[in-house]
């Protein structure tokens, strides 16, 4: 019987030696295990909430029907289903918490380690008490099996968490890079601002006269505004002089048939701004008019702004 006892003792001691590195591994993965447990719990609770909301809505409909018919059978059935769903969800949450608790000190070290120590003690007793040695030896085998089962559960969970942890960390890294790129792109997005020079609005001027409107476009936000352009929408009666090229907006446009001129400013960088100018001739009829302008650039589409022009005799 000495060979079986010796073999059993060696197995128990070997398995006991695995406990310490397993615990070190468990500690390193505990944070990830907690994160995983939290994610699974949140997912389960969210699914429960959606399912419960749907069933509550169904019950509310049944209540309305029950008030009309006086039959509460279907309503009672739905309530029982809701109670059962709640129990199943609570059981699932407890199962999640229990699963990841396997990496805690108590379950990853004390429980399997205790069974292996018990196996060693029973094995020693089997060699001392020869008459009942078989009972002690079988007991030591069972203790090894039980401890090995608990050890394997911890190792399987550790492997699962480790693999998923790598995926999780990769996912987090991708999200962090994407977030940083988004912030970088937002920082680069241009925002322009136009200010007029040497002229105040509403601007008063005589009819059938030439007026020069000078302006400066500043880069309010971003690094550079590429292909910057300012569109001016000229009221009917006014005639564009500079730039000389003009066109009318199509009928389906938001400002249909209005005469339009543009001033191309190119790339605008951070600095004092880029100047521009238009010249227009006022109408021969006095009145109050609105000059609309619109700032645009590559990746930037500003809002239309209005300034007033008062034409008098």
220 and 162 assigned to the same domain: no
The pLDDT assigned to 163 comes to 45
140 and 242 assigned to the same domain: no
200 and 64 assigned to the same domain: no
User: Where is the domain boundary, 134, 162, 186?
Assistant: 186
Helix %, strand %, coil % for the chain, to 5?
60, 25, 15
Q: Where are the beta strands (DSSP E) in the chain?
A: 191-197, 203-206, 210-221, 224-234, 239-242, 247-248, 259-269, 274-281, 287-297, 300-312
- Choose among 202, 167, 194, 178: nearest CA to 300: 194
226 and 294 assigned to the same domain: yes
Distance CA(273)–CA(279), nearest Å, equals 20
Residue indicated by tokens 């429980």: 111
CA dihedral 144, 148, 149, 150 (to 10 degrees): 110
125 and 209 assigned to the same domain: no
Distance CA(13)–CA(109), nearest Å, equals 14
181 and 290 assigned to the same domain: no
Q: Of all residues in the chain, what percent carry a pLDDT higher than 90?
A: 27
Query: How distant, in Å, are the alpha carbons of 25, 29, 158, 167, 283 from that of 32?
Result: 12, 5, 10, 11, 74
Q: Which range marks the domain in which residue 251 is found?
A: 191-312
CB-CB contact of 307 with 201 (8 Å): yes
CB-CB contact of 290 with 266 (8 Å): no
Provide the pLDDT confidence category of residue 118 given band limits of 50, 70 and 90: confident
Q: Which residues 6+ apart lie within 8 Å of 27 measured at CB? A: none
CA dihedral 138, 139, 140, 141 (to 10 degrees): 50
Domain containing 208 — which CATH number? 2.60.40.740
- Global pTM reads 0.44
Provide the pLDDT confidence category of residue 271 given band limits of 50, 70 and 90: confident
292 and 175 assigned to the same domain: no
- Please tell me the total count of domains within the chain: 2
176 and 213 assigned to the same domain: no
Q: How many residues does the chain have?
A: 313
85 and 28 assigned to the same domain: yes
The pLDDT assigned to 99 comes to 57
The pLDDT assigned to 258 comes to 92
212 and 294 assigned to the same domain: yes
Distance of alpha carbon 134 from the chain centroid: 62
Highest-confidence range of 27-31, 105-109, 122-126, 205-209, by mean pLDDT? 205-209
176 and 243 assigned to the same domain: no
For the ranges 54-63, 80-89, 146-155, 174-183, which has the lowest average pLDDT? Answer: 174-183
Q: Which residues 6+ apart lie within 8 Å of 294 measured at CB? A: 230, 231, 233, 302, 303, 304, 305
Provide the pLDDT confidence category of residue 11 given band limits of 50, 70 and 90: low
pLDDT in tens, 192-239: 999 999 999 999 999 999 999 999 999 988 888 888 999 999 999 999
**Total Cβ atoms within 10 A of residue 213:** 21
128 and 256 assigned to the same domain: no
Radius of gyration of the chain from its Cα atoms, rounded to whole angstroms: 40
CB-CB contact of 189 with 219 (8 Å): no
- SS3 at position 291: strand
- SS3 at position 266: strand
């Amino acid at each position: 019987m000495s060979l079986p006892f010796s073999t059993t003792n060696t197995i128990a001691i070997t398995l006991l030696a695995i406990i310490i590195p397993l615990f070190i591994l468990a500690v390193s993965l505990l944070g990830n295990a907690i994160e995983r447990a939290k994610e699974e719990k949140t997912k389960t609770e969210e699914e429960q909430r959606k399912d419960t909301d749907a069933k509550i809505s169904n019950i509310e409909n049944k209540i309305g029907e029950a008030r009309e018919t006086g039959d509460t059978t279907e309503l009672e059935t739905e309530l029982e289903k809701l109670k059962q769903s709640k129990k199943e969800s609570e059981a699932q949450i407890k199962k999640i918490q229990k699963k990841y608790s396997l990496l805690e000190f108590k379950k990853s070290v004390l429980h399997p380690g205790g069974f292996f120590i018990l196996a060693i003690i029973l094995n020693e007793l089997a060699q001392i008490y020869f008459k009942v040695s078989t009972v002690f030896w079988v007991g030591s085998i069972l203790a090894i099996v039980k401890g090995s089962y608990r050890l394997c559960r911890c190792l399987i969970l550790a492997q699962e968490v480790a693999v998923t942890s790598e995926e999780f960390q990769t996912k987090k890294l991708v999200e962090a890079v994407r977030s940083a790129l988004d912030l970088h792109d937002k920082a680069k997005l241009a925002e322009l601002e136009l200010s007029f020079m040497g002229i105040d609005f509403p601007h008063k001027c005589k009819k059938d006269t030439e007026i020069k409107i000078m302006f400066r476009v500043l880069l309010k936000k971003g690094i550079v505004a590429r292909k910057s352009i300012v569109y001016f929408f000229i009221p009917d009666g006014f005639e564009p002089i500079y730039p000389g090229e003009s066109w009318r907006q199509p009928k389906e446009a938001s400002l249909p048939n209005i005469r339009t001129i543009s001033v191309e400013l190119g790339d605008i960088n951070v600095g004092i701004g880029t100047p521009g100018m238009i010249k227009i001739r006022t109408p021969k009829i006095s009145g109050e008019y609105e000059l609309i302008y619109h700032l645009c650039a590559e990746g930037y589409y500003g809002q239309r702004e209005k300034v007033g022009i008062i034409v008098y005799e």
